[in-house]
Structure 1
Amino acid sequence: MKNVILGLPELQKYIKSQTVNNTEAYTAFINGENILYNQILNMMNSNGCAEDKEEKTCIWNREQILTMTDTSMAAVLGEKYKEVDNYSVRARMPLPPFLFASRIVEIDAEFGELKPSSIAAEYDFEESGVFGVGDNKISYLLPVEASHIGIFLMGYMGLDVISNGTLSFRALDNAQTFYSGKPFRVGDTMKTIFKIHRFAQNGSTTIMYYTYETYNGDELVSISEASGGFFTKAELESNKGIVTPKLRFNPLEPKELLHFSHTSKTSYTDEETHAFYKGNYEACFGNDVKLSLAEKYYIRDAVKMIDRVTNIDYNGGKYGRGIICGEKNITPDMWPFEVHFKNDPVFPGIIMVDGVLQLEMFLFGHTGMLGHYNNAEIKVVEGACVKSKFRGQVRKGYSLLRYEVHIKECVQKEDGIFVLTEASIYNNDVHVIQVDNYEIKIYEKK
């Protein structure tokens, strides 16, 4: 081999090239070590090691629940449910990400008998999911969806066999009393105890009257008294929505809504509204409104139910105490239609109801209530009984949801601002949902 003598310029170039190669190799080595270290650390933190990982005791786990919901009841429950699997529309819960059951822990029911029965289930908030609010809070309204476990209970009792797979479930009425204003957070577990007390039948139509309790660990969060029904397709399509008589007289004395900002705006564009729900308050309100929240408020695009704010009037509304109106465009490609329910697409009522809280949060921002305190926090008022009525359907297709939130009471006390509302939701001018007595407290977080 001949020795090659490099000149000074070539030598400098060679040394520089080797230095770069060595640096890249060392960087790749360090990056690889970091990846391995993080993988081991994540396994330790998530109890991923075999000796630490424990599956909670249950009758049916998440995988089995998903199998029964998506594909086959018989695969988990046995041959007597084989007929149920033949029905495209049956008593089934929604699919993920709208399936809020990690495990079923108790059940007291019999196949082939529609009689008072009960079931208990748990759901782990391993991540904030579609109902996440801010960094790790969960929407206050998610416990309403805990009632879905009752659909499984009806399927377990064999409703589909009794009705020959001709019925679809729809919620009717719900009166939910909150006993804790503390929201669920990532890492919490929600337990639901669901009890059917009685049935009413008219032909094949079956109405069930039930209660359900939700817990955060051992702490009682809410108790609901509710009803829901299994209806034929013809009955669902003939529903004309909520018939509400016009208010003949105002039982409340009109008064201007409490506000601390001086903005003259009474409506907001799609872009401004979107900015608010992404947590970019200045892009929405400019410098006219101050917000100082203890925890930043923003929501996931998946459940953003207000596209634009069409009217804010401090002296308007049903009671002359203030109103805010908003709109949402419904399109057939929206994800809820794919999961709620399989082969029976209908927009979930709870997501529409969550839009009421979203619109109220916008109003609290617009009025300056969320900037009145240096460290503002909000919560649902303990003892408040929120009454919801569901009539009509929002089927897969194009439509316009219209929201009206009427202020019934807004008062400032020593311990915070209390806002009581009544809301209506219209789908193409059909009154499909009414929510009354929703009470929120805005206060200084210590």
Structure 2
Amino acid sequence: MTSVLEFVGEPFDAAAWTAAPPPEVAAPPAAPPAASPLPAPQRDGPGPTALTTLWESVAQAHRSALRAQEALQRRMVTARPGVGAAEPPAPPAVRTAPEGAFKPLARTTVTALDTAALARLAAGDVAGVFGSAYDQDGANPALRFAGGDRPVLNAVGRIELRGGAAGAGRVLAAAEGDAVAAAVQATQVFALFTGLHLCLADAEFVVTAPPSDGARIAGTVDLEVTAVDLVPRPGLTARATVDGVGAFEVSVEVRERPGTPAGPGAGGRGPWLGRLSAAGERTLLSELHMAHLARGDQGLAMGPEFATNTGRKATRLPTGGLLLVDRVVHVDGERGRLDSARYETEYDSPADSWYYADTANASMPHCVYMETSLQAALLIGYYLGPTLAAPDATVSLRNLGGTATVLREVDLRDATIRQSSELLSTTPLPGSMLQEFRYSLAVDGEPFYRGETMFGYFGDAALANQTGLDSGRTLPTWLDAQEVRPRTRRLDLTARRADPAASRCSRGKLALLDEIEVVDGGGRHGAGYLHAVRAIDPADWFFARHFHLDPVIPGSLGVESVIQAMQEWLLDSGHADHLRDPQFVVPVGEPFAWKYRGQFLPVDATSTLEVHLRDVVATPGRVRVSADASMWKPGLRIYELTGVAVELREAGAP
């Protein structure tokens, strides 16, 4: 993992903030109306008339487009083994996005484009083609699909978000004209489809492609995207195959035009940067800035005061599939004033997100509830500048604890979560600084999650001197403290996951436990006791995500591992055997508290958890179990959870 941010192409223009903001622009021109078939003109005499020439040109263009579209359809059909030529191509199945896959800035159901749609893209009417999620309130007046009046592409038969060998995207298109130009236009179509332009206010396409050799085609372009990212700039690379032969590389970058700012100025303010919220408001910061705060140029992300944190250990958001905040809508506060502030952020939760596929829950796992709310809080606490008084100091941000309650059940697939947060206080301490927050999450204006939390900023010395929850004492687990070790039984989670038919089972990136020891009737409350040990591998996926240059296991995944132990016990206990096709849900109205006084690092050998079951409550169609829990790193208890709960309910239960 490199500690230096490498820029391809031009660096961001710091002087852009001294320039005037981009002028207000008119809305892009409306798309031309679809042409009606022209009757064959009558000749007045020998030789072609102007109308004859026009008619013949239109007819020739129409025939060419039909030939190209036919070639595309044949290619799409024959590419599917076992399909006869008469069978139309079926749309690809929806694919779950792997953890870390690029998340588009906007989504659309439009995955094919005819000639008229391509003309509208060439005119800059992106929202008119792909939908209102692509609207920019008049921004990007010069950003155009490079077709002009005579695009090389005649039609796009299919755009696949997760298609291609790399799973990064694919475009199948019909074209007539220059082969390189056709590939470039297909790449630009995919860039617009994924909304790469939406985080800039006045941008242009910068293309890298081989020089044209003059070869012309009347056939197909098969473009497979190999990489797409927002850092250092929004862009993608792809491999184009034209007419089944002659593959070559092409890339496109969405770059701010000279003199146009791409990030906030001093104080974190400045002209609007081009992004709208899900509700259509002009936002303060976009997905571009979140990506740079996580792993890129912090000066671009937050303002020039933070530029010294680029490329070194500093406060950051998580990366990849653990980056769970997309936009800062507004901040009611001022940089340098740390006593209070109010702000709203947004997170889009697509149905194809990795955590929906990997969780045992019916909807979002509890760890994502926690992460998205806590990230929204830490983001603005950091934005206000608590570390700017000592810009050369190495400081890490850690969550210290909080409380939260789920207010109502809600399926969050394809929802935009609105995060409303408030900074309550900032307290300087020797070697550290504490910030307290209050927050709530809502969908469609209705809150569903509410809580409070505390974060601390710590130097390396303070982090190295943490004493855990027991003032440095080594406190054994309940199981190890028994004079006579009680009889245990073992739940084999690895075997459960190995069975494809096993339901309500956490898998993939959320497979956090391998086995659980159970003491029936054990624990502090006499209702049952769970114990599990997990080996820590420095190559575990979450270290690369949380955080860049400062790897530590997310506390939310520790909570998730406790929840998984409880879920497996509830399935095994027989308490839910009377439920028909039950599903796990995050329990409503169950206050939950956590306290962290340490961190799990890549060098730690193991993490150990214990769960003291408190009670099991059955209501019509539901069974809920609650518990208290702790977690240890070698020799030190560092996590304490109170009131953690899991619930199984029948589908449709009241």
One fold, TM greater than 0.5?
Answer: yes
Asked if structure 1 preserves the Cα contact closer than 8 Å seen for 2:567 and 2:646, the reply is no
Aligned-pair distance for 1:365?
1.2
For 2:307, the aligned partner's letter is K
CA change 1:29–1:421 in 2 (3 A) is closer
What letter corresponds to residue 119 of structure 1 in structure 2?
Y
Q: 1:229 to 1:36 in 2, by over 3 A?
A: same
Q: Which residue of 2 aligns with 1:338?
A: 544
- Equivalent residues of 2:420, 2:441 under 8 A apart: yes
CA distance in 1: counterparts of 2:559 and 2:396, whole angstroms: 21
SS at match of 1:154: helix
Show the 5 A alignment for 1:325-404. Answer: 325-404=531-610
2:512 to 294, 301, 305: 305
RMSD: 3.2
Equivalent residue for 1:71, pick from 289, 296, 303: 296
Equivalent residues, number: 388
Q: 1:273 to 1:242 in 2, by over 3 A?
A: farther
Match of 1:168 among 396, 417, 425: 396
* Partner of residue 491, structure 2: 268
Cα distance, 1:337 vs structure 2: 0.9
Residue 85 (structure 1) shift: 2.9
- Larger CA deviation: 227-236 vs 68-77: 68-77
1:118–1:322: structure 2 CA closer, same or farther, 3 Å change rule? same
Q: 1:26 to 1:356 in 2, by over 3 A?
A: closer
**CA-to-partner distance for each residue in 1:119-167, whole Å, 9 max, x for gaps?**
2111111145343225972103322112112322233222332233321
Which sits farther off after the overlay, 328-337 or 379-388?
379-388
- Aligned match for 2:374, one of 120, 142, 147: 147
Matched-pair contact (CA < 8 Å) for 1:125–1:185:
yes
Task: Describe the superposition over 1:227-274 as per-residue Cα deviations: whole angstroms up to 9, x where unpaired.
Answer: 110011111111121129999xxxxxxxxxxxxxxxx98113463254
Letter in structure 2 aligned against 1:396: P
Preserved CA contact (<8 Å) 2:604 2:633? no
Q: Which runs of 5+ in 1 are unaligned?
A: 1-23, 248-263, 282-295
State how far apart, in whole Å, the 2-side matches of 1:437 and 1:25 are.
58
Is the 8 Å Cα contact of residues 205 and 231 (structure 1) preserved in structure 2?
Answer: yes
The amino acid that maps onto 1:299 is S
Given candidates 329, 342, 346, the residue that maps to 1:118 is 342
Distance in 1 of aligned mates of 2:111 and 2:341:
36
Contact persistence 1:388–1:433 (CA under 8 A) = yes
**Cα distance, 1:47 vs structure 2:** 7.3
Q: TM-score, normalised by structure 2?
A: 0.54
Percent identity between the aligned chains?
A: 17
Within a 5 Å distance, the mapping from 1:243-258 to structure 2 comes to 243=470
CA distance in 1, matches of 2:612, 2:463: 28
Cα distance in 2 for residues equivalent to 1:112 and 1:35: 62
Spell out, residue by residue over 1:41-62, the C-alpha distance to the aligned partner (whole angstroms, 9 max, x if none).
9996257873233244332221
1:28 equivalent in structure 2: 78
Which stretch shows the higher mean deviation, 165-174 or 371-380?
Answer: 371-380
Give 1:7's aligned residue. Answer: none
TM-score of the superposed pair, with normalisation by structure 1: 0.78
- Change in Cα spacing, 1:356 to 1:206, as seen in structure 2 (3 Å) is same
Aligned to 1:178: 406
Contact 2:546–2:553 (8 Å) recurs in 1: yes
Pair 1:279–1:137, CA change in 2 (3 A)? farther
Match of 1:219 in 2: 446
Q: Deviations over 1:329-372 (max 9, x none)?
A: 11000111112111111111101110111111100111123322
Return the match for 2:628 from 422, 434, 441.
422
Residue of structure 1 in register with 2:4 after alignment: none
Moved more, 328-337 or 126-135: 126-135
Task: Please give the secondary structure, in 1, of the residue aligned with 2:293.
Answer: helix
Q: 1:116 to 1:29 in 2, by over 3 A?
A: closer
In 2, Cα distance between equivalents of 1:348 and 1:135: 19
Distance 1:375 1:269 in 2: 22
How far apart, in 2, do the equivalents of 1:384 and 1:72 lie? Answer: 40
Superposed displacement of residue 76, structure 1: 4.4
Contact 1:90/1:160, CA 8 A, preserved across alignment? no
Contact 2:527 2:612 in 1 (8 A): yes
User: C-alpha displacement at 1:108, in angstroms?
Assistant: 2.2
Shift of 1:425: 1.3
Q: Aligned equivalents of 1:135 and 1:175: distance in 2?
A: 21
Q: Which runs of 5+ in 2 are unaligned?
A: 1-73, 96-106, 114-125, 135-275, 278-282, 477-486
The one-letter code matched in structure 1 to 2:284 is: I
Q: 1:77 to 1:431 in 2, by over 3 A?
A: closer
Contact 1:91 1:151 in 2 (8 A): no
Distance in 2 of aligned mates of 1:279 and 1:319: 35
For residues 242 and 135 of structure 1, the distance between their equivalents in structure 2, rounded to whole angstroms, comes to 30
2:548 maps to amino acid: K
- Equivalent residue for 1:321? 527
